């Protein structure tokens, strides 16, 4: 009798505990998708964040007017149609009928206007659209479904660069007006996307629920809405080996944050599907131009010649990445193949010769010296992303070979970028991801983006001007020419040294269906991630 009571109490306790840990409850598994997230977002505010993981997660909740298909063609999302003026200074966009926010309110042109006003005011990524750079000087809303953007200068890239970008995810005007800006994307987020933001437990998980009224998925998605899974749980697993173990154990349904070392292990697991795709994500090295020793072009070229990208791809990326010659990858729109001819080849002898020409002589310890000063630099990179920490060590060893004493200082991603912005580094190994060349290169190299995203702190008027032409010339050829020239200047300057281009990786349980739909699209867009996946 006594043990029966004990059993009853035990069962009762387990039953009581079940709702407290939804991600482990078997009963809900059929309608819940658990996605492993290798890095916790800083916030889910479309207009404030610049972090990749934030963008990925918030894309399930907030949607821009347009999106891109697999050929990088702009296709309507919230928009139904658009119309350009001949001078590319006026763009009229008509919204689809029957669009709703998660709070039930219909989407109107006033919401679009309020969102873009917020975008050009608060987003660090909106430089192309700001009035100061000839961006949005006015927005008219003749009726609830029509919005007319008026630009100060021709903005031929507006649709592909900004209006298709999740950073312009449309939020309700009333929500923007009534919510403190710092709370948006942290305590609350209201959008039109296939999933509703429910809860964020910092350091643990982000929970979303299906938006049942969702019907406006992009044309390339076989399922236009609503999504198949009732619940979506993003579990934050910042530690690589833990993520691999969680996927192998089946505690995570899928993740896009597999590391190369995990990939080899998961490939051998019969319960796990692994996929690879080209990616826009690049790993690059940047020199802090405020340091006197980097002022010499010869020194910078010598450094570029000292770096063996092939070795980094093999050792740091375990063969998953590919050596990168330009600052954008082949997958990015606007990539100019001849840039390969301008990249500095790995050549230690040439590097030594250039250092000598610049007045640096090796001291008794093998370290270069000039005017009594040892060539010592601090290299900052990410501690919690293996491929970056290892790349830092490989670069350190390669620079040591030519006589530079490199001290590697690793920090968590956010802290590393804080140091990059504060300028407390000499050499940085960082990353970036974008599908479109002009805004990406503008972000990394234009002088107005010092120190937010141009960590080199190098202002080059010629480069600035070309970047602006590449973004504003009405003539397609003129824009392309300018962007090609930009790529050449960047590589030749050796202020930035492109290292390795990434590969997108995915690991999923065999029971997750719809992966072939995802694979049909070269870069696995957020809408397919949200709408195409099912439980087999």
Partner 1 sequence: MRPAHVASPAVWTLRRLWRHRLMLVGALLVLVVAAAALLAGYLAPYDPIALDIDALLTPPGAKHLFGTDELGRDIFSRVVYGTRFALLIGVAVVLIEAVIGIMLGACAAYFGGWADALLMRLVDIMLAIPTLVLALAIAGVLGGGLGNMILAIGITGWREFARLIRGQVLVIRTSTYVEAARAVGAGDARILGRHILPNALGTVVVYTTLEMPAALLWAASLSFLGLGAQPPTPEWGAMIAEGRGFVGQAWWVSTFPGLAIMTTVLGFNFLGDGLRDMLDPRTARGL
Q: Which residues bind partner 1 (CB under 8 A)?
A: 240-241, 244, 259, 261-262, 264-265, 308, 311, 314-316, 318, 383-384, 386, 389-390, 392-394, 396-397, 407-411
CA distances from 509 to 39, 47, 204, 248, 515 (A): 20, 33, 21, 8, 10
Nearer to partner 1, 261 or 511 (CB): 261
**Smallest separation (angstroms) from partner 1 to the CB of 239:** 9
CA-to-CA distance for 313 and 329, rounded, in angstroms?
Answer: 14
Pairing of strands 376-382, 205-210: unpaired
Nearer to partner 1, 248 or 275 (CB): 248
| Cβ–Cβ under 8 Å, residues 425 and 411 | no
Nearer to partner 1, 209 or 412 (CB): 412
**Smallest separation (angstroms) from partner 1 to the CB of 241:** 5
**Smallest separation (angstroms) from partner 1 to the CB of 279:** 20
DSSP-assigned states of every residue in 235-270: EE---HHHHHHHHHHTSSSEES---HHHHHHHHT-T
Nearer to partner 1, 277 or 318 (CB): 318
| Cβ–Cβ under 8 Å, residues 236 and 205 | yes
Nearer to partner 1, 108 or 398 (CB): 398
**Smallest separation (angstroms) from partner 1 to the CB of 396:** 7
Nearer to partner 1, 390 or 431 (CB): 390
Nearer to partner 1, 342 or 346 (CB): 346
| Cβ–Cβ under 8 Å, residues 217 and 211 | no
**Smallest separation (angstroms) from partner 1 to the CB of 413:** 12
Three-class DSSP category at 457:
coil
Nearer to partner 1, 109 or 259 (CB): 259
Which tokens in the block code for residue 407?
């001290």
Could you give the maximum distance between any two Cα atoms of the chain, in Å? Answer: 92
CA-to-CA distance for 10 and 8, rounded, in angstroms?
Answer: 5
**Smallest separation (angstroms) from partner 1 to the CB of 382:** 11
**Smallest separation (angstroms) from partner 1 to the CB of 347:** 17
Three-class DSSP category at 53:
helix
**Smallest separation (angstroms) from partner 1 to the CB of 303:** 18
Residue labelled with tokens 């049942």: 212
Nearer to partner 1, 146 or 383 (CB): 383
**Smallest separation (angstroms) from partner 1 to the CB of 383:** 5
| Cβ–Cβ under 8 Å, residues 332 and 440 | yes
CA-to-CA distance for 416 and 424, rounded, in angstroms?
Answer: 10
| Cβ–Cβ under 8 Å, residues 41 and 53 | yes
CA-to-CA distance for 35 and 320, rounded, in angstroms?
Answer: 22
Residue labelled with tokens 């809408």: 527
């Amino acid at each position: 009798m006594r043990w029966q009571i004990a059993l009853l109490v035990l069962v009762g306790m387990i039953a009581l505990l079940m709702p407290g840990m939804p991600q482990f409850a078997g009963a809900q598994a059929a309608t819940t998708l658990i996605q492993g997230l290798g890095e916790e977002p800083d916030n889910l505010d479309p207009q404030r964040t610049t972090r990749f993981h934030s963008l990925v997660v918030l894309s399930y909740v907030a949607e821009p007017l347009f999106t891109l298909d697999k050929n990088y063609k702009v296709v309507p999302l919230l928009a139904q149609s658009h119309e350009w003026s001949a001078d590319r200074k006026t763009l009229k966009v008509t919204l689809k009928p029957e669009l709703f926010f998660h709070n039930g309110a219909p989407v109107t042109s006033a919401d679009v206007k309020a969102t873009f006003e917020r975008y050009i005011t608060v987003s660090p990524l909106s430089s192309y659209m700001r009035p100061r750079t000839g961006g949005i000087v006015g927005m008219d809303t003749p009726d609830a479904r029509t919005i007319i953007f008026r630009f100060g200068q021709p903005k031929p890239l507006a649709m592909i660069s900004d209006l298709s970008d999740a950073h312009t995810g449309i939020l309700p005007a009333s929500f923007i007006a009534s919510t403190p800006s710092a709370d948006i994307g942290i305590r609350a987020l209201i959008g039109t996307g296939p999933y509703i933001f429910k809860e964020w437990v910092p350091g643990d998980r982000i929970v979303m629920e299906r938006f049942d009224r969702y019907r406006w998925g992009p044309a390339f998605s076989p399922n236009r809405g609503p999504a198949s899974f009732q619940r979506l749980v993003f579990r934050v697993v910042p530690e690589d080996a833990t993520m691999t173990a969680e996927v192998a154990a089946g505690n995570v349904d899928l993740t896009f944050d597999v590391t190369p070392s995990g990939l080899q292990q998961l490939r051998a697991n019969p319960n796990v599907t692994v996929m690879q795709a080209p990616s826009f994500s690049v790993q690059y090295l940047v020199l802090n131009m405020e340091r006197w020793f980097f002022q010499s072009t010869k020194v910078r070229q010598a450094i570029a010649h000292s770096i063996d990208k092939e070795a980094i791809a093999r050792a740091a990326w375990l063969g998953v990445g590919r050596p990168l010659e330009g600052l954008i990858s082949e997958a990015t729109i606007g990539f100019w193949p001849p840039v390969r001819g301008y990249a500095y080849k790995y050549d230690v002898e040439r590097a030594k010769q250039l250092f000598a020409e610049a007045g640096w002589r090796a001291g008794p310890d093998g370290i270069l010296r000039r005017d009594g000063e040892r060539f010592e630099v601090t290299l900052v990179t990410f501690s919690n992303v293996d491929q970056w920490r290892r790349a830092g060590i490989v670069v350190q060893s390669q620079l040591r070979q030519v006589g530079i004493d490199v001290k590697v200082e690793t920090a968590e991603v956010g802290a590393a970028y804080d140091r990059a912005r504060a300028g407390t580094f000499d050499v940085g190994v960082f990353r970036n991801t974008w599908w479109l060349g002009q805004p990406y290169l503008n972000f990394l190299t234009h002088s107005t983006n010092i120190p937010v995203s141009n960590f080199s702190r190098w202002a080059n008027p010629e480069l600035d001007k070309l970047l602006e032409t590449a973004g504003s010339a009405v003539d397609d050829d003129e824009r392309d020419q300018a962007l090609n020239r930009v790529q050449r200047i960047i590589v030749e300057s050796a202020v930035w040294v492109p290292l390795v281009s990434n590969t997108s990786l995915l690991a999923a349980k065999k029971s997750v269906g719809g992966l072939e739909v995802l694979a049909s699209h070269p870069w696995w867009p957020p809408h397919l991630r949200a709408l195409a996946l099912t439980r087999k």
